[in-house]
């Protein structure tokens, strides 16, 4: 079972349990919502497993519905990860990886994001996220970056499309902060950042972004994200093809030194 399926089933389990205790107590969705600060539709979404419980819903509902700790126990299962369910397996792998390589073509990768830029990205989420969910995801993203400082340090390199440096997510100030943050991280001995220039007439990565991982045991696999989540690639020949594509991307991109100068020029122009 994939992590996304596990996450969905856990949410559905909690939702079913919440509905059982609510109906047993003879309370309507609107009535429960009034006690926990939710609308009727928000309670319905939790019961369908479409939305995780937020705030003090679990604690208040457990007491109000006479669940005797059952909802509290079920709620703990939803708090074991700081990441979306479909991302859990990759985040666990990333935290222990010996080497990580990322190609990004839309935004600066999460491991390089500054706080303001990360918040701007989550504020763009569709459908919109609640304020507390935005802050939780920003916090998790910044915490995730500690892998760059881990000992032994992993080798981490990035190939970024040039337009990721100029798209003003969050506004010019947030973008300038982001570029400065990237320059600072790029000074670390275990981090390499390369930019794919607009002028490139031949491009090996037109199929989209990718993340390549080498584990501590030197096993290799790839992780590919799409609109609905992500999936691993660990079988040949697809895995070998992705590693080959990334190698060509690095050769086609500007050198780390040239990339640093380009990032500096873009930042100075803001």
Q: What integer pLDDT is reported at residue 6 of this predicted model?
A: 45
Q: Cα angle at 82 between 17 and 223, to 5 degrees? A: 110
Of 186, 174, 156, 187, residue with least CA distance to 107: 174
pLDDT along the chain (270 residues), means of 10: 49 89 94 88 86 83 93 76 64 90 96 96 90 86 90 95 96 97 96 97 94 93 83 92 97 98 97
Strand order through the sheet with 220-226: 191-196, 155-161, 99-104, 210-214, 220-226, 229-233
**What are the phi and psi torsion angles at 62 (to 5°)?**
-60, -40
State the pLDDT at residue 181: 97
Q: Please tell me whether the peptide bond between 71 and the residue prior to it is cis, using omega within 30 degrees of 0.
A: no
The pLDDT of residue 242 is 97
pTM tops 0.85, yes or no: no
Which pLDDT does position 61 carry in this prediction?
A: 93
| Token digits of residue 235 | 């079988």
- For residue 136, the model assigns a pLDDT of 84
Q: How much is the pLDDT for 9?
A: 63
């Amino acid at each position: 079972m994939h992590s996304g399926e596990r996450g969905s089933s856990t949410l559905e389990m909690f939702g079913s349990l919440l509905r059982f205790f609510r109906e047993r107590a003879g309370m309507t969705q609107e009535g429960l919502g009034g006690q926990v600060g939710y609308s009727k539709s928000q309670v319905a979404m939790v019961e369908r497993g479409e939305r995780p419980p937020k705030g003090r819903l679990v604690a208040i509902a457990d007491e109000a519905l006479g669940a005797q700790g059952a909802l509290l126990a079920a709620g703990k299962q939803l708090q074991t990860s700081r990441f979306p369910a479909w991302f859990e397996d990759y985040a666990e792998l990333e935290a222990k990886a010996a080497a990580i390589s990322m190609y990004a073509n839309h935004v600066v990768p999460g491991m390089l994001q500054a706080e303001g830029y990360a918040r701007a990205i989550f504020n763009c989420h569709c459908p919109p996220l609640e304020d507390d969910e935005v802050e939780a995801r920003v916090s998790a993203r910044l915490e995730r970056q500690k892998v760059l400082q881990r000992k032994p340090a992993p080798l981490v390199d990035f190939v970024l499309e040039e337009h990721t440096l100029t798209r003003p997510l969050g506004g010019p100030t947030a973008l300038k902060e982001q570029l400065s943050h990237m320059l600072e991280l790029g000074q670390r001995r275990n981090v390499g950042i390369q930019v794919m220039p607009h002028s490139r007439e031949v491009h090996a990565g037109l199929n989209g972004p990718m993340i390549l991982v080498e584990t501590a045991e030197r096993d290799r696999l790839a992780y590919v994200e799409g609109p609905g989540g992500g999936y691993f690639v660990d079988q040949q020949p697809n895995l070998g093809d992705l590693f080959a594509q990334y190698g060509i991307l690095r050769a086609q991109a500007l050198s780390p030194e040239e990339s640093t100068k380009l990032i500096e020029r873009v930042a100075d122009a803001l």
